[in-house]
A and B are shown apart, each in its own frame.
Chain A
């Protein structure tokens, strides 16, 4: 608990550096990651993230120290080489893009891992902590790093603002951009450079293994909530903030825990919650599904009640009379009866049911829709009248009053359906 207070009160001045540094990194990632995501280049992002490792190791071996600028430069170069390498394989051979990407990833990462073990076995006193580049360590962010990260964020922010339309257009419709004479290669180059730069600057905090998730997960999760690019970026920034603060806190409190996995862990939780609970999410769909099912069941039951009331001319009817007209599973029947009673459409008197006034109106409406729709199918779409019952059954439940009005008009306000039954 006291650690939490230490953390949020910034008693340790290092906390502020770490937190702002980590936030700068995740903001830059969320911004440029939105375009990586929209351009469907998530896999390339992952390959580049892994591919910066040899560059960092080389920078360290050559300089013998952990100068942040040099390390980023090394990472940036080797990230770019991997981008070219992927393009080269795809354009010069028959290997498909996804294979080229995974070949590049494994090749560069394996090479980086070899260099890393080489460094760790050397007796360079500075080498401690170089392995943080695998999984990240926000606690190691220094003031020099901080300046660099903020610099990167500013660059990414400004260039993205300037190129917003260009990035959007080539993500959406690259051929169109070419047709108006834009230099798509160049715009692409700017976009890739920013991505590589962000990856290069982010690995100290998150590590090469999970860096791609920091790019892709914020817009990916935001995509469940909104349908506008600006909001995608904005929400992504919020998600990045939450997960970065939490992740950095955990690794601050438990210094032997790497930061990257924790940030990504919290990001993933946000993503999972989005998958479940957003308006486009699974839960919403389940609810809709249930609602539709019970709507269909209730309306069918009302239709049966209409038939029993008006065509068999029964004053009231029992469960078995309902089932004799149309078969219902017992459980479904009970649910339907209860729900219709709750809505006041159906009244019960010692085991026998009858329609209330509102129930009669509603039942008439449904029968009307059913018969209108049948008529529409036979008259306007030339279905055979003995074939249409099934189709009419499913459609009638989704006809809105507006569609009903149009149906009536198009059919010239009919009074009989194709089976010669009266349209109520």
Chain B
């Protein structure tokens, strides 16, 4: 594959014993809209976090733009899952979006006029500028999600990770977000998002990664979303894998043997 944006190589991830991702391996080109699809608890969030090295895999490795993620963090943007955030937190819309201008390299960089302008533009494009001084606790679910999207836009990235940006949003917000995604793609950016609605996946997404603890399929959407694959991801329960997982947890079994370290 030419122009790879993401190369996930044989990653296995576990939190406390039982693996939540088994040996996942796929590649993604640049300039596509890609969806991660799978039932609840199938490891979608974990996969995103592992790609960004927020969660460390037990084995395997990830390359983003052909290098270690730490070297290209200024080229990525992240919209975390709604549930992971305390929406009662005392912070204003503008303050959240300005976080998009924080730099990873320079810990004490000051917010400049240009940063504020970028943040305003980002808010404008999600139609939230008039709410810029509101506290996030006063917003509706859809508005909160738009603020998070605005923060990601303010990051001015090449690769966008979004964890369920459509969860719990109203129709208007859904439309706004979709427009933004398509615009990002037009600009040649890559977007990888966790998603639920199979209908929109077929319609808008070029690439699909079908996940259920293990990788069911990854590739062009039409090729991935076959009945067989969907059954395999959503239908049959993974009884055997579950059994093994439980056993590993019970015995505190090491997930990799030192000698077989891959790298």
| Besides A175-B84, A179-B80, 7 other A-B contacts (C-beta < 8 A) | A168-B95, A172-B96, A175-B49, A175-B78, A180-B78, A182-B104, A229-B91
> Which of B53, B90, B96 is most buried by chain A, counting CB atoms within 10 A of its CB?
B90
A228 touches B103 (CB 8 A): no
Any chain B CB within 8 A of the CB of A38?
yes
Decide if B91 touches A172 in the complex (CB within 8 Å): yes
B99 near A232 (CB under 8 angstroms)? no
Once the chains are docked, how many angstroms separate the CA of A29 from the CA of B234?
52
A169 in contact with B78 (CB, 8 Å): no
Contact in complex: B99, A169 (CB < 8 Å):
yes
The 7 closest A-B pairs by CB, nearest first: A181-B104, A181-B73, A179-B78, A180-B104, A227-B135, A178-B54, A227-B90
23 contacts between A and B (CB under 8 A): A38-B90, A40-B86, A162-B108, A165-B102, A166-B107, A168-B91, A168-B95, A172-B85, A172-B96, A173-B84, A175-B54, A176-B151, A179-B52, A179-B78, A179-B80, A180-B78, A180-B102, A180-B103, A182-B107, A227-B135, A227-B137, A228-B91, A228-B135
Shortest beta-carbon distance, A89 to chain B, in Å?
13
B16 partner residues in chain A, CB cutoff 8 A: 94
Considering the complex, give the chain A residue whose CB is closest to the CB of B73. A181
Query: Which of chain A's residues 228-256 have a Cβ closer than 8 Å to chain B?
Result: 228-229, 232
Q: Is B70 in contact with chain A by the CB < 8 A criterion?
A: yes
Q: How far is the CA of A228 from the CA of B96 in the complex (A)?
A: 12
Question: Does B92 count as interface, using CB distance less than 8 angstroms?
Answer: yes
The CA of A166 and the CA of B104, in the complex, are separated in Å by 11
CB-defined interface of B90-114 with A at 8 Å, one 1/0 digit per residue?
Answer: 1110011001001111011000000
Q: Residue of B at shortest CB range from A165? A: B102
B260 at interface by CB-CB < 8 Å: no
Closest to A93 in B: B16
A172 touches B105 (CB 8 A): no
Q: Name the A residues within 8 Å of B70 (CB-CB).
A: 181
Contacts of B54 in A (CB 8 A): 175, 178-179
Category for how many chain A residues contact B: 20 to 34
A172 touches B89 (CB 8 A): yes
Interchain CA distance A181-B109 in the complex, whole Å: 14
B76 within 8 A of A: yes
The yes or no answer to A171 lying at the interface (CB within 8 A) is yes
Given contacts A168-B91, A227-B90, A227-B135, contact A180 B80 (CB under 8 A): no
- Separation of A38 and B88 alpha carbons in the complex (Å): 10
Cα-based distance from A272 to B133 in the complex (angstroms): 29
Contact between A181 and B91, CB atoms less than 8 A apart: no
Cα–Cα, bound, A172→B90 (Å):
9
Q: If A178-B52, A223-B90 touch, does A173 touch B103 (CB 8 Å cutoff)? A: no
Which of A171, A172, A180, A229: most chain B Cβ within 10 A? A180
A40 to B86, CA, bound (A): 10
Cross-chain contact of A176 among B92, B99, B103, B135 (Cβ < 8 A)? B99
Residues of B within 8 A of A294 (CB): none
Q: Is A304 an interface residue (CB 8 A)?
A: no
CB nearest to B49 among chain A residues: A175
Residue of A nearest to B54 (CB): A178
Residues of B within 8 A of A168 (CB): 91, 95
Whether B90 lies near A173 (C-beta < 8 A) is no
Write the chain B residue with the least CB distance to A182: B104
Asked if A226 lies at the interface with its beta carbon under 8 angstroms from chain B, I say: yes
Give Cα distance in the complex from A176 to B161, angstroms.
11
**When the two chains form their complex, are residues A38 and B89 in contact, meaning their CB atoms are under 8 A apart?**
yes
Min CB distance A389 to B, Å, is 27
Contacts of B96 in A (CB 8 A): 172
A380 to chain B, nearest CB (A): 13
- Taking A178-B52, A180-B102 as contacts, is the C-beta distance between A173 and B85 under 8 angstroms? yes
Is B80's CB under 8 angstroms from A175's CB? yes
Residues of B within 8 A of A229 (CB): 90-91
Interface residues of B in 137-160 (CB under 8 A from A): 137, 151, 155
- Residues of chain A contacted by B102 (CB below 8 angstroms): 165, 169, 180, 182
- Closest residue of B by beta carbon distance from A34: B90
A171 partner residues in chain B, CB cutoff 8 A: 89
Q: How far is the CA of A304 from the CA of B23 in the complex (A)?
A: 70
- Chain A residues within an 8 Å CB radius of B74: 181
How far is it, in angstroms, between the C-alpha of A169 and the C-alpha of B54 when the chains are bound? 15
**A223 vs B89: C-alpha distance when bound (angstroms):** 10
Set of chain A residues within 8 Å of B52, measured between Cβ atoms:
178-179
Please provide the chain A residues from 153 to 205 with a CB less than 8 Å away from any CB of chain B in the complex. Answer: 162, 165-166, 168-169, 171-173, 175-176, 178-182
B108 close to A226 (CB less than 8 A):
no
Give the docked Cα–Cα distance between A301 and B16 (Å).
Answer: 62
Chain B nearest Cβ from A181, distance in angstroms: 3
A232 and B76 CA atoms in complex are apart in Å by: 33
Given the complex, which residues of B lie within 8 Å of A232, measured CB to CB?
90
Shortest CB-to-CB span from B236 to chain A, Å, is 30
Bound Cα distance from A169 to B98, whole angstroms: 11
Residues 2-48 (chain A) with a chain B CB within 8 angstroms: 38, 40
> Judging by beta carbons under 8 Å apart, are B80 and A173 in contact?
yes
User: Which of chain B's residues has its CB closest to A223's CB?
Assistant: B90
Minimum C-beta distance from A230 to chain B (A) = 9
Contact of A176 with B80 at beta-carbon distance under 8 Å, contacts A181-B73, A228-B90 already known: yes
Q: Interface readout for A194-226 with B: 1 if CB under 8 Å, 0 if not?
A: 000000000000000000000000000001001
Q: How far does the alpha carbon of A181 sit from the alpha carbon of B53 in the complex, in Å?
A: 9
**B108 neighbours in A (Cβ, 8 Å):** 162
Provide the bound-state CA to CA distance between A227 and B133, in Å. 11
A182 to B74 Cα, complex, angstroms: 11
